[in-house]
Amino acid sequence: MPDRARDKRTETASEGGAERLNELIGFHLRQASIFDLQGALSALAPTELRTVPVSVLMCIVEHPGLSAADTCRRLRIKRANIVPILSDLEKRGLIYRETDPGDQRIQHLFPTPEGAQTARTAFAALVAHEDRLLARLDPSERAMLRTLLTKIWQQS
């Protein structure tokens, strides 16, 4: 049923009354984002994690010892939003924290072996999802899309 609803939204925008929306890149970004998020959540279901916690976990796996503040900066997440994510990842046994000996306010984040495995599983699931999502694009179009989207979000 969600697929039918998405198809109906797309038809409505392109066929009747909302043609001007098709002139807006933001409209297309939003439609693609909805489609991507639905598939990503489905792909990540076996990990029992959502997209943002997976991003945080993958950042910690790729940069062990990074502080929570640095993780926020890298992922553009508000510090207040990362606190419950880190608590949940820690409770699940996917990460652990070590207090900086020089500054007790700083916590360094490290993956557990299970966390590293979960990150690998999640990444593989997301790659497979993106392959399905972008099946209509050839490798050069995928690279161009990545470049163009990066230009947009890096300007902010």
Check: pTM over 0.85? Answer yes or no.
Answer: no
- What is the DSSP-derived secondary structure letter of residue 134? T
Q: What pLDDT score was predicted for residue 7?
A: 55
DSSP SS3 for 98: strand
CA 59 to CA 70: how far, in whole Å? 10
Helix 51-62 × helix 113-133 angle, to 10°: 120
Tokens 């976990």 sit on residue: 57
Look up the CATH number of domain 50-125: 1.10.10.10
Q: Residue 94: which residues within 8 A CB-CB, separation 6 or more?
A: 57, 111, 112, 114, 115, 118
Give the amino acid at 43. Answer: A
Q: In the chain, what are the domain boundaries?
A: 1-47, 50-125
pLDDT digit string, tens, across residues 73-94: 999 999 999 999 999 999 999 9
Q: What pLDDT score was predicted for residue 18?
A: 72
Please compute the mean of the pLDDT values over residues 120-141 and round it to a whole number.
96
